[in-house]
Amino acid sequence: MIPAQIADVGLFASMERYGDLTIHAVLDLRRCFARGDLERAMEAVIRAFPVLGSRYAPGFWRDYWLPVDLPVSESVHMVDEPGDLEGDTAAWVRRALRLTEERPLRLVSLARGQGSRLLLSVSHVAVDGAGMAAVGHVLAAELYGSVPSAPVDARRTLTSALDGLRWYHLPVLARDVILSSLLPVRIFFAAVRELHFTAGPTGEASWRHVTIGALELERLKALCRTVDATVNDALLAALARISVGRSRRGRLAVIYTMDLRRYAGAPRLTAANTSSVMSVIVPRAAVSEPAVTLRAVARLTARQRRSLAGPAFFVMPTVLGLAAPHSWVRRVVRWAHPLFIEPSLRRGLVFTNVGRLDEGLSAFGADLERVSIVGPNVAGVNAPVVVAFGYRGELHLQLFAAPGLAEAALDELETELRAGLA
């Protein structure tokens, strides 16, 4: 029995409104694996991260992850003769994990010519993007008989993720807790998106993989070096440029995630939700020439990195979770959706950067031909979500449009993103 963390509780309470929130990694390989190999790899993942062998059990006082008695074979699926590879992939992506009944983890192998496509699906209620990368790393290491590049840590608490901080950080943390509490107000006064992405009658989500090639990425990095910025800053700046074209007045809000594992005392692989939701509020006047916008964004994110704004995001919810029944926390989260979440989604574009995947997927070696990430499966969001990662010298962007958005919304976002990065 594993206690649910406050982030798990909040995400579980949000599923009814915002979708099943499952993250999918799609790996195209030159080889196939036998069912026994895949099941042994899944067993290794569950041993490393016991939460992935559990089901979510909401309770009055506390929510828990309880062990699932079903054999691991129930979480591994083989499709030896897919009629339509992309169609079958989409069908599995849209097939929700039943968190209160089964593991928050699923592995599907689809035959693909002489090779295979592995589809690894993990619920965001159990892990964030970096946690998904850790799961994939352990899975690959087991399949190829190698050793993970960092120690595996089954702990999921916020204190374990922040054990690199010391007592003398407390005054800064207290200051940033106060400042972070004002962020919803600042977002509320940011520009509202008035030119909406194209809606559609479809009840199904759609997605697209966009690749920024090595030459274009090098040009972008060169621009970043001139203003002491990062590629992550460049992506945030591009989203701010999109927002300025879809609103008439006011500052621009861009919502992104910060992985709190950077505050750990040592590198390790963890499967948990330890990413804070952050925002940059960019002055409208700064959204002009690419270098000007990039410099403005870089200054804002550098200030956040020098502070403890990321950990501060979790302090008040964690204290609330310690003092209140989780059943009450779930109710408060649902009340907060229209008050805090909806205003943010009407103003800011949502972006998350998983980071470089080269080391995490290194065990696959030359067998790995292509990798993409689909999701998290969201609903009720009227703008596509952007997930970025780096792999083999290229920048990969996954655009995910929730049900209710037309596929044309992906065309619009891709065009505007490329223009924003130009």
Segment 136-155, tens digit of pLDDT = 999 999 999 999 988 999 99
According to DSSP, the β-strands at 64-67 and 54-57 are antiparallel
* pLDDT score recorded for residue 315: 83
Q: What is the pLDDT confidence band of residue 203, given thresholds at 50, 70 and 90?
A: confident
* pLDDT score recorded for residue 53: 96
Q: What is the pLDDT confidence band of residue 411, given thresholds at 50, 70 and 90?
A: very high
Of 101, 109, 147, 97, nearest in space to 33 by CA: 109
* pLDDT score recorded for residue 237: 95
154 lies in some domain: no
pLDDT of residue 320 exceeding 80, the answer is no
79 forms bridges with which residues in the sheet? 110
Of 134, 215, 132, 137, nearest in space to 394 by CA: 215
349 forms bridges with which residues in the sheet? 254
- The alpha helices in 182-279, defined as continuous H runs, are 183-188, 214-226, 231-245
Location of structure tokens 């403890």: 308
Last residue of a domain, one of 111, 144, 177: 144
Query: What is the C-alpha separation between 291 and 102, in angstroms, rounded?
Result: 49
Tokens representing 220 are: 């972008």
C-beta separation of 154 from 44 below 8 A: no
For 384-404, b/e burial (b = at least 16 CB within 10 A) is bbbbbbbbeeebbbbbbbbbb
Least confident range of 50-54, 63-67, 260-264, 398-402 = 260-264
Q: What is the pLDDT confidence band of residue 295, given thresholds at 50, 70 and 90?
A: very high
Query: What is the C-alpha separation between 219 and 227, in angstroms, rounded?
Result: 13
338 lies in some domain: yes
* pLDDT score recorded for residue 188: 87
Of 206, 130, 193, 209, nearest in space to 384 by CA: 206
* pLDDT score recorded for residue 184: 84
Domain CATH number, residue 275: 3.30.559.30
pLDDT of residue 316 exceeding 90, the answer is no
* pLDDT score recorded for residue 98: 94
Query: Do 140 and 205 lie in a common domain?
Result: no
Q: Which residue segment(s) compose the domain that 19 sits in? A: 2-144
Query: Do 203 and 55 lie in a common domain?
Result: no
Mean pLDDT in residue range 84-105? 94
Domains in the chain, number: 2
10 lies in some domain: yes
What's the mean per-residue pLDDT of the chain?
Answer: 92
pLDDT of residue 202 exceeding 80, the answer is no
Segment of 63-67, 287-291, 316-320 carrying the highest mean pLDDT: 63-67
Local structure of residue 269 (DSSP, 8 states): B
* pLDDT score recorded for residue 319: 79
pTM (predicted TM-score) = 0.93
Of 16, 19, 10, nearest in space to 401 by CA: 19
157 lies in some domain: no
Query: What is the C-alpha separation between 304 and 417, in angstroms, rounded?
Result: 24
Mean pLDDT in residue range 35-59? 97
Percentage of the chain modeled with pLDDT above 90: 71
39 lies in some domain: yes
* pLDDT score recorded for residue 183: 83
- The alpha helices in 227-359, defined as continuous H runs, are 231-245, 290-306, 309-323, 326-336, 342-347
Last residue of a domain, one of 79, 112, 144: 144
- In 10 A of CB 181, how many CB atoms? 13
Domain CATH number, residue 127: 3.30.559.10
Q: Three-class SS of residue 109?
A: strand
According to DSSP, the β-strands at 394-401 and 206-212 are antiparallel
Helix (H) or strand (E) holding 27: strand 22-29
